[in-house]
Amino acid sequence: MSTLQLLSEHACFGGVQRFYQHDSSAIGLPMKFGVYLPPQALQKKEATQKNEAMQGKVPVLFYLAGLTCNEETFAIKAGAQRFAALHGIAIVTPDTSPRGAGVPGESDYWDFGMGAGFYIDATQAAWSKHYRMETYVASELPGLLASELPLDMARAGIFGHSMGGHGALTLALKYPELFRSVSAFAQIAAPAQCPWGEKAFSGYLGDDREQWLAHDATALMAQRQTPFPAGILVDQGLADKFLVNQLHPDKFEAACAQAGQPLTLRWHEGYDHGYYFIATLIGDHLAHHARQLQA
């Protein structure tokens, strides 16, 4: 019996956009996620109605959304399904935090707590029971999907936006055996050095800044030697109001240069931090991942 509860399904570019819920052992609460299955994953079922996991498996991209978003945001706003269908790649969109954890104050701020899990495992007592997004995204969810859906976890990539760009880069660097490709839009590139990161890390991890560096893409990259030789793609809008104080892509660029990591960092005049920016460039990101996952 499947452990996934199908909440909704929508035909989309020859494939299907679905939303699921399941009981998460990592989080200790129900979690929701979206998945787009391209037409290549939906071979015609025989009269015996074979299990989907036995059908043709396709590469998969994990997309991590930003602050205040949920499992539906990217699927509705980015326009990625057209390109996912073209390349034959599935896209998985986890939620951005636990929901209903009951931690006092978890809904008080838009940039900390609910909707702002930062894709880390909290260590502070108030948060550590349920706020375990790193374990959820990098361990539990891939294992669940591999057993339930026609996804080839040997060909998995990860990308994200803002807080999710931070999550994509850090998880890619920490779990290279899982993620073969990585890209980001307007990521929080050095969270240990910006207000958003300082607020989240002090709340979830405590005041020891040395512990924060294990969740900082710039710090992690500086310790590596060419972890992704096929290259990393990053896009950043020059009209992004968070660029100067929160994002610091230049720090990540310097760390990549130190590590010998090929990086394509593209600057875009007039583009801000929102999904119009992502929708403009999403085709390039799907093509970037397709080249690496289908090689």
Distance CA 122, CA 137 (A): 14
137 Cβ neighbours under 8 A, 6+ residues apart: 62, 64, 94, 119, 167, 171
Looking at the DSSP assignment, which residues form a beta bridge with residue 34? Answer: 19, 93
What torsion, rounded to 10 degrees, do the Cα atoms 251, 257, 259, 263 define?
A: 90
Tally Cβ neighbours within 10 Å of residue 64.
31
DSSP structural state of residue 109: B
Three-state SS for 33?
A: strand
Identify whether the C-beta of residue 251 lies closer than 8 Å to the C-beta of residue 189. yes
CB 181 within 8 A of CB 288: yes
Closest to 164 (Cα-Cα) out of 156, 172, 153, 152: 172
Give me the catalytic one of 273, 285, 288, 289.
273
Residue in the block written with tokens 């495992």 = 121
Q: Are 171 and 134 in contact (CB under 8 A)?
A: yes
Is 162 a catalytic site residue? yes
Extended strands (E) in the chain? 5-12, 15-23, 30-37, 58-64, 90-94, 151-161, 181-185, 232-237, 263-268
> Of 97, 162, 181, 183, which residue is the catalytic one?
162
Query: DSSP per residue over 175-240, as a string?
Result: -TTT-SEEEEES----GGGSHHHHHHHHHHH-S-HHHHGGG-HHHHHHT-S-S-TT-EEEEEETT-
Task: Say whether 183 is catalytic.
Answer: no
Q: Is residue 273 annotated as a catalytic residue, yes or no?
A: yes
Active-site pick, 181, 240, 248, 285: 240
Supply the residues annotated as catalytic.
Answer: 162, 240, 273
